[in-house]
Structure 1
Amino acid sequence: MKILITGANGFVGRNLSETLKAIKEGKDKTRDIIVDDIFLFDINNTLDNLDQYTKHCDYVINLAGINRPQNTSEFYEGNKGFIETLCSFLVKNKNKCPIIASSSIQVGKDNDYAKSKKAGEDYLKEFSKQNGNQVYIYRFANLFGKWCKPNYNSVTATWCYNIANGMDIQINDPNVVLPLCYIDDVANEIIKCLKGTPNYNGEYYEVSPIHEVSLGELAETLKKIRESRNDLSIVNQSDEFTKKLYATYLSYLPEPEFSYPLKMNIDSRGSFTEFIRTHEHGQVSVNISKPGITKGNHWHHTKNEKFLVVSGKGIIRFRKIGESHVIEYKVSGEKLEVIDIPTGYTHNIENIGDTDMVTIMWANEMFNPEKPDTYFEEV
């Protein structure tokens, strides 16, 4: 399959072209589709390029358009005029390949952008009747995801960028609800269309799911994501929208701030450092023990833990409260295995190697100094 993408350097075009490129190069083997060539056309190309591409393509994906012109006429030139040019080359080259075209849910509103997109839709529908090309018109909702230009026409991109860079955001009405679509869902839907299984709602083609989110909810979630670096929390990503928004936010981090420090609690025995704290899934910490050091010698009523030694050598010992039998597990970074720490067993971990022993520790709850559920007793 040879695919022509117009508007290839835009937000959707860039994400889609990289997705198709991975398929073409065999890096993504999960898609049941063969991509032989990808022709990328954008403002830097010439009409001669467009002429050549339309001679050979099996599909056209038209993502070219204008949404922030200097004057009103550019709306119609970019959103309808270019479609006319594109279709004229298809006619010239006798190419009746299918056309996948981007439009907008703005269609139907009383503004020039919406009117120009509707004019483009109408031209494509008539062209389909006259020339025989199958046309799939997608009315995109408000899109978000990596590589979307901030401070342009996406509130999600702008807020992600501003909040990640410590800048203020403006909310005129927090109750306004936005229909949002994630860029990977757009790419997935277009691939479905290429395979012949598009999502049609009876009037036009659309990407699903559409996430209905108020401006207030969007701002609150983004601020929680920002604060997660400070309180070591992870925003609950059990819902798909938050998961997608979290991924989007990270793509706007300033490059010098990809990393952030953790507070290391250091003493002569080594160190203990909290890494992640969540209400839903507990706490993850990193424990470093010096050679010959034993840590622990305590037990819990309800709190439970998992230990994973990733470097060094050690022994984890258990003794059931009220009994004398001691259980031992030898652990090392050479053979990764998780040791569950059952409730009602006092336990410790000893470094028996010559180097520092590094242990990843998970507890099913965040540490609460007012309810530590931790009782000293030698194993």
Structure 2
Amino acid sequence: MINVLVTGAGGFIGKNLIDVLQQDKKIIVNQYHRNDDVSQLYQYLNNADIVYHLAGVNRPKENEEFTKVNKGLTETIVKYLKDQNKTPLIVFSSSRQAEMNNPYGQSKKEAEEVLKKFSIETGADVRIYQLPGVFGKWCKPHYNSVVATFCHEIAHHREIDIHDADKMLELVYIDDVVNSFIDCLYEKKMGKTFYQHIKQTFHITVGELANRLYKIRDIRKSLIIPDLSDLLTKYLYTTYLSYIEPNDFSYRLPTHKDSRGSLIELIKSHQAGQIFMSTTKKGVIRGNHYHHTKVEKFCVIKGTANIKLRKIGNDKTITYTVSDQNIEIVDIPPGYTHSIENITDEEIIVLFWANELFDPNNPDTFYLQVDRDKTD
């Protein structure tokens, strides 16, 4: 078993780290919170194999709190460990501001120096992460993360304040931080440096950050999912959703109805096309058209239908009878006129995927009956 102590357990990084640690049955996680008695801290230190020292303040009412907590708590931990002749691995969450001339940064730098001295004197393994702006789920808005603040305000339909749109931000995703911290449990320290780095960070201006979050917000209207192959966009999308209120998780979609049934667009993507669905009444035939470049997939998820295809210039008709009793997908290649007919007494529901968004100026859709005997 591995005994782990996490200080600052109730904070943003602490909660995410603890959630992952607790999934491993070989790890005993002890949590030290802001208002816990110091005797509890000492008890946890007695058994700790590794200390994740995440506790700290960065927006206190008085500047003295920086030194009292950021440096003072670190000194308390180190003194007790030295008195008890204990040398657990210590992973310290510092900040890039430790290199800056401000009260918060100075207090973090002083805490770093306390830990480095402890390592030199005792041989303890100390690993310091000077983190840039960390973002992700459970981060407190209006505190120390512009991403959290922007996500919270936009998700709550409020305007955001941008003082310098061109300011460059360096960001790191919470899962990358947690994974790097977890690696410390099993990896031996390489080299003599105290400082560790998260392998993946992102750079974006404040203005571009806001633009991406507004596009994410507007998915509910445009239905266009951003390019999630871009990891920063993927992580911002994930983070944004975590700030939506539970009573606002769902949203309605426009439904287009006519005598045949209904059609509803679900998801659109400039990279991956679009997904939509239709309901079709008894005996109705949809389609009887072909595409030159657009390709589609049909999937009947309720009812039974005949999907017919015929290659342009060929007389042979291919028929697939598909139903919700045996879910399957029928590919619609280019150059094949195709149709779908409801052959049940109730409405059918069909799920569609097309490899490109519908463009009314270039629909790539040409009418042609599948069944030869139904042509003029």
8 Å CA contact 2:260–2:284 kept in 1: the answer is yes
Q: Percent identity?
A: 44
Greater mean deviation of Cα atoms: 215-224 or 87-96: 87-96
Normalised to the residue count of structure 2, the TM-score between the two structures is: 0.94
**Contact 1:304–1:343 under 8 Å retained in 2:** yes
Choose the corresponding residue for 1:90, options 81, 89, 99: 81
Q: Which residue of 1 aligns with 2:12?
A: 11
Counterpart amino acid of residue 7 in structure 1? G
CA-based RMSD of the aligned residues comes to 1.7
Q: How does 1:3-82 map to 2 (within 5 A)?
A: 3-24=4-25, 35-82=26-73
1:303 aligns with 2:266: no
2:260 pairs with 1:264: no
Deviation at 1:200, TM superposition (A): 7.6
Counterpart amino acid of residue 256 in structure 2:
N
| Alignment correspondent of 1:250 | 241
Deviations 1:202-244 (A, max 9, x none): 5611212111111111111111111121111011122111111
Q: Which runs of 5+ in 2 are unaligned?
A: 371-376
In structure 1, distance between residues paired with 2:192 and 2:210: 30
> Which moves more between the two structures, 147-156 or 329-338?
329-338
Partner deviation per Cα, 1:65-121 (whole Å, 9 max, x = no partner): 110111111100111100111223323443221111111111121111111101000
Corresponding position: 1:194 with 2:195: no
CA contact (8 A) 2:256 2:264 kept: yes
Is the CA contact (8 Å cut-off) linking 1:181 and 1:208 kept in structure 2? no
Question: Aligned with 2:184: secondary structure?
Answer: helix
Deviates more, 1:162-171 or 1:86-95: 86-95
Q: Distance in 2 between matches of 1:271 and 1:199?
A: 62
Q: Which amino acid aligns with 2:165?
A: P
Q: Which of the numbers 222, 244, 250 marks the counterpart of 1:231?
A: 222
Residue of structure 1 aligned with 2:306, choices 299, 310, 315: 315
Equivalent position to 2:154, from 153, 163, 182 = 163
Q: State the match for 1:28 in structure 2.
A: none
Of the three residues 195, 202, 216, the one matched with 2:207 is 216
Query: Partner of 2:196: helix, strand, or coil?
Result: coil
Contact 1:101–1:135 (CA under 8 A) maintained in structure 2: yes
Paired residue secondary structure (1:119) = helix
Matched, 1:361 2:352: yes
2:101 counterpart residue number: 110
Task: Please report how far the alpha carbon of residue 198 of structure 1 lies from its aligned counterpart in structure 2 after TM superposition.
Answer: 6.0
Report the AA paired with residue 280 of structure 1: Q
The one of 124, 145, 150 equivalent to 1:154 is: 145
Q: Using the TM superposition, give the Cα deviation of residue 197 of structure 1 relative to its aligned residue in structure 2, in angstroms.
A: 5.2
1:146 deviates by 0.5
Q: Residue 135 of structure 2 aligns with which residue? A: 144
> How far does the alpha carbon of each residue in 1:28-83 deviate from its partner, in whole angstroms, 9 at most, with x for none?
xxxxxxx3310011113222211211111211100001101111111001111001
Q: How far, CA to CA, are the matches of 2:209 and 2:191 in structure 1?
A: 28
The whole-number CA distance in structure 2 between the counterparts of 1:73 and 1:372 is: 66
SS at match of 2:215: helix
Give the whole-Å Cα distance in 2 for the aligned partners of 1:259 and 1:22.
Answer: 30
Count matched residues. Answer: 369
Moved more, 256-265 or 190-199: 190-199
Aligned-partner Cα distance in 2 for 1:85–1:356 = 71
